[in-house]
């Protein structure tokens, strides 16, 4: 059986947003990385749809086909996470979703688990931790005149932390996945990445959490991921460092990621 | 071939000038760069898609000056070359620091990435 990905729109926080949807079943909301868009999940979505999920992947506000809320990009991770919460309310029909995300999307997943502890069935965060922040130099470059070569930065930043050797077509695809977002939003994404810190809120988590990081991803230290797993109480968290993959795990090795996610969800009785 | 050293720099320039991607990324360049491997520093002139001139650089000794520099301690360059640290990480964190006229440097960001890739990949016996 094949699962088609179709596009939809919804109004969230007064702004029109785009999302892809695939399959039927338990809602699984997939939140993309900074600078990227829903295209990042195209290889992963049908794999999870086969397993019985209704997979939804929004473009975050100000990315690709989603308008920014109040015409300004978010700069705080909590604001981003609250938008995701409102997206869930608008699209999941009152059903508790599983939430997964990577990079800033992973940070949002942890924010939701902390601040809406009864609101999600499980959280799966990739390339994220309780506290993040590795690229700190971009705040002055929101306007195009300050950094005329920003698109080259985007191309390189979106592919440098992949695991090499890597299929050159995947490298090219990753570049294109990051070419639909405006410079001001990209810079704001990094401000949010640097702003994220839920270390004091991890005790509030009530759902199973799976954290997974590619070994080649230098944007986040391995230890930050392992420390986060250890700090989530009641044995709710598991995961670790994945050898042979990098920053873009959902497109570098989507089958392997789906297998890891489904293993976690089965162990935790979600599926 | 000693890294860094004149032979290495000449091999680097030869590689860059044979690289179509570098030519494309610097087609409309007209800049002077100081490339600093620790205390060993080289002045490069980029123009029209190629490195058209180079010389050792000493403070105050070059009347033409420079637009921006790409600099790091020698140990950092060694970490790039032996693969223990990723290029993007070194650039993103400023471990390899780009400083000076950042409008020019950032306009030519891709050329910096290509230059550092060549420095990383150039074999010691090239």
CATH code of the domain containing B77: 3.30.1050.10
Instruction: Give the nearest partner residue to B88 out of A137, A150, A218, using CB atoms.
Output: A218
B35 located within any domain: yes
Chain A: residue whose CA lies nearest to B114: A156
Contact list in A for residue B31 (CB cut-off 8 A) is none
Identify the CA nearest to B80 among candidates B120, B118, B126, B110. Answer: B120
Return the pLDDT at B61.
79
Return the pLDDT at B62.
86
Distances (CA, A) of A137 to A40, A140, A164: 25, 8, 26
Q: Which segments in chain B show pLDDT lower than 70?
A: 1, 125-126
Is residue B29 classed exposed, middle or buried when 0-12, 13-18 and 19+ CB atoms within 10 A define those classes?
A: buried
CATH of the domain at A149: 3.40.50.1820
pLDDT at A123 over 70: yes
Interface of B with A (CB under 8 A): 25, 85-89, 92-94, 103, 106-110, 113
Return the pLDDT at A138.
82
B28 located within any domain: yes
pLDDT at A84 over 70: yes
pLDDT digit string, tens, across residues A213-271? 999 999 999 999 999 999 999 999 999 999 999 999 999 999 999 999 999 999 999 99
| pTM reported for the whole predicted model | 0.89
pLDDT digit string, tens, across residues A207-216? 999 999 999 9
Q: Which single residue is written with the structure tokens 């929004």?
A: A58
Task: Note whether B88 contacts A161, CB cutoff 8 Å.
Answer: yes
B125 located within any domain: no
What is the mean predicted confidence (pLDDT) over A3-17?
A: 97
Please state the domain count of chain A: 1
Confidence bin at A144 (pLDDT 50/70/90): confident
Return the pLDDT at B59.
82
B25 located within any domain: yes
B61 located within any domain: yes
Which of A103, A143, A147, A160 to probe by mutation at the B interface, max B CB count within 10 Å?
A160
Distance (Å) from the alpha carbon of A74 to chain B's nearest alpha carbon: 22
For residues A119 and A88, the answer to whether their CB atoms sit within 8 Å is yes
A1 located within any domain: no
Q: Which residue has the higher pLDDT, A80 or A1?
A: A80
Contact list in A for residue B86 (CB cut-off 8 A) is 160-161, 216, 218
Confidence bin at A148 (pLDDT 50/70/90): confident
Distances (CA, A) of B6 to A25, A267, B60: 65, 60, 20
Please state the domain count of chain B: 1
Instruction: Give the nearest partner residue to B88 out of A146, A152, A160, using CB atoms.
Output: A160
Its domain, for residue A39, covers 6-267
Interface of A with B (CB under 8 A): 134-135, 137, 141, 146-150, 152-153, 155-157, 160-161, 216, 218-219
Q: Copy the structure tokens of residue A31.
A: 């939140």
Chain A: residue whose CA lies nearest to B87: A160
Q: Which residue has the higher pLDDT, A254 or A136?
A: A254
B22 located within any domain: yes
pLDDT digit string, tens, across residues A188-206? 999 999 999 999 999 999 9
Chain A: residue whose CA lies nearest to B85: A218
Strand ranges (E), chain B: 30-37, 40-47, 50-56, 68-72, 97-100
Return the pLDDT at A4.
95
Return the pLDDT at A145.
84
Its domain, for residue B62, covers 6-118
Return the pLDDT at A136.
62
B123 located within any domain: no
B124 located within any domain: no
A134 located within any domain: yes
Q: Enter the DSSP assignment of A199.
A: G
Task: Note whether A156 contacts B113, CB cutoff 8 Å.
Answer: yes
Mean pLDDT of chain A: 96
Is residue A158 classed exposed, middle or buried when 0-12, 13-18 and 19+ CB atoms within 10 A define those classes?
A: buried
């Amino acid at each position: 059986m094949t699962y088609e990905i179709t596009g939809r729109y919804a109004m969230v926080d007064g702004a029109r947003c785009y999302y892809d949807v695939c399959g039927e079943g338990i809602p699984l909301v997939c939140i993309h990385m900074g600078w990227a868009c829903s295209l990042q999940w195209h290889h992963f979505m049908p794999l999870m749809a086969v397993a019985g999920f209704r997979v939804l992947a929004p473009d975050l506000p100000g990315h690709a086909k989603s308008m920014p809320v109040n015409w300004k990009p978010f700069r705080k991770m909590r604001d981003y996470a609250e938008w995701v919460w409102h997206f869930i309310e608008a699209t999941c029909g009152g059903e508790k979703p599983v939430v997964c995300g990577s990079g800033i999307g992973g940070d949002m997943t942890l924010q939701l688990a902390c601040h809406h502890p009864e609101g999600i069935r499980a959280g799966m965060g990739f390339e994220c931790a309780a506290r993040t922040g590795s690229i700190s130099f971009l705040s002055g470059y929101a306007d195009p005149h300050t950094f005329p070569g920003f698109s080259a930065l985007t191309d390189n930043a979106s592919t440098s932390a992949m695991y090499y050797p890597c299929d050159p077509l995947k490298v090219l695809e990753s570049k294109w996945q990051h070419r639909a977002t405006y410079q001001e939003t990209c810079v704001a994404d990094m401000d949010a990445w640097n702003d994220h810190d839920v270390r004091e809120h991890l005790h509030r988590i009530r759902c199973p959490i799976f954290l997974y990081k590619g070994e080649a991803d230098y944007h986040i230290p391995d230890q930050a991921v392992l420390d986060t797993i250890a700090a989530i109480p009641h044995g709710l968290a598991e995961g670790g460092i994945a050898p042979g993959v990098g920053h873009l795990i959902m497109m570098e090795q989507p089958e392997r990621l789906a297998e890891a996610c489904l293993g976690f969800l089965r162990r935790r009785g979600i599926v | 071939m000693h890294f860094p050293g004149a032979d290495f720099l000449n091999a680097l320039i030869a590689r860059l000038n044979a690289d179509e991607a570098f030519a494309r990324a610097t087609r409309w360049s007209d800049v002077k760069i100081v490339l600093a491997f620790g205390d060993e520093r080289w002045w490069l002139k980029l123009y029209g898609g190629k490195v058209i001139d180079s010389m050792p650089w000493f403070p105050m000794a070059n009347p033409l000056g420079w637009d921006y520099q790409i600099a790091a301690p020698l140990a950092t360059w060694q970490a790039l070359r032996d693969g223990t640290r990723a290029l993007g990480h070194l650039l993103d964190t400023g471990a390899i620091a780009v400083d000076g006229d950042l409008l020019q440097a950032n306009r030519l960001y891709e050329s910096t990435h290509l230059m550092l890739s060549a420095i990383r990949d150039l074999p010691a016996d090239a």
